Amino acid sequence: MAEVRELIEKYALQNAVKYKAAPNAGAVMGKLMGEHPELRSRAKEVTPLVKEILAEVEKTGPEEWQKRLEAIAPELIVELSERKEPAKGLPPLDGAENGVVMRFAPNPNGPPTLGSARGIIVNSEYVKKYGGKFIIRFDDTDPVKKRPMPEAYGWYLEDCAWLEAVPDEVIIASQRVHHYYEVAEELIRRGGAYVCKCEQLTFKEHKDKGIACAHREQTPEENMALWKM
């Protein structure tokens, strides 16, 4: 077991040096079993040994950990120094060099949340990075399930200002319904949309199974007539 004890001490010291704290038993055990899968069948035998060695390491401090690790496993010191920091900041957007249009679409049925702040900041920061336009579009067209709160519109814009993410344009969907109807009719005339008459359960079943809707082959004239009904 001398060789196993040495491995455990190395990994314990590496963990302690990395985090400048007493080594974590789970991390040391995971490293040991990951690097030496032949020991997995001896886990019951190895576990108390890990606890014993970690207790010994904990009796010393950061300076001793560093010196001991340099003495018995200098390669693990090198491994720690070569480990790259994870990339920070926004991931790049392909093809965004000429500017982007980013949209955050809250439903104003309550105050903004931390999740709202994240969406606002990410979209705004992309516009700051590439140039373009940041839009707040209030999705307030469902007065039954998500009844809008008149105060919430202002709350979102106040939070945008506080987050230094002032939108370039504010759109209120409920004030543009007539425009959406015009676009829908234009799509129907061009054959780009159709009117589905499936029952809700049938629609869901077809969607889940990837089955084309039976009304998909209707002509634009048939769809327009159904739309006008």
What is the tens place of the pLDDT at every residue in 197-210?
Answer: 999 999 999 999 99
Q: Average pLDDT for residues 125-138, to the nearest whole number? A: 96
Same domain, residue pair 163 and 216: no
Q: Is residue 186 part of a domain?
A: no
Q: Which domain holds residue 215?
A: 191-228
Residue 83 pLDDT: 61
Q: Is residue 139 part of a domain?
A: yes
Cα–Cα distances in Å, from 179 out to 64, 186, 189, 190, 203? 72, 11, 15, 17, 27
Whether residue 86 is predicted with pLDDT greater than 70 in this model: the reply is: no
Residue 88 pLDDT: 78
Q: What is the pLDDT of residues 139-155, one digit of tens each?
A: 999 888 899 999 999 99
Same domain, residue pair 6 and 77: yes
Whether residue 114 is predicted with pLDDT greater than 90 in this model: the reply is: yes
Same domain, residue pair 167 and 215: no
- Three state DSSP letters for 14-80: HHHHHHCCCCCHHHHHHHHHHHCHHHHHHHHHHHHHHHHHHHHHHCCCHHHHHHHHHHHCHHHHHHH
- What percentage of the chain reaches a pLDDT higher than 70? 97
The answer to whether the beta carbons of residues 99 and 131 sit under 8 Å apart is yes
pTM of the model: 0.56
DSSP conformation class of 168: S
> CA-to-CA distance for 113 and 65, rounded, in angstroms?
44
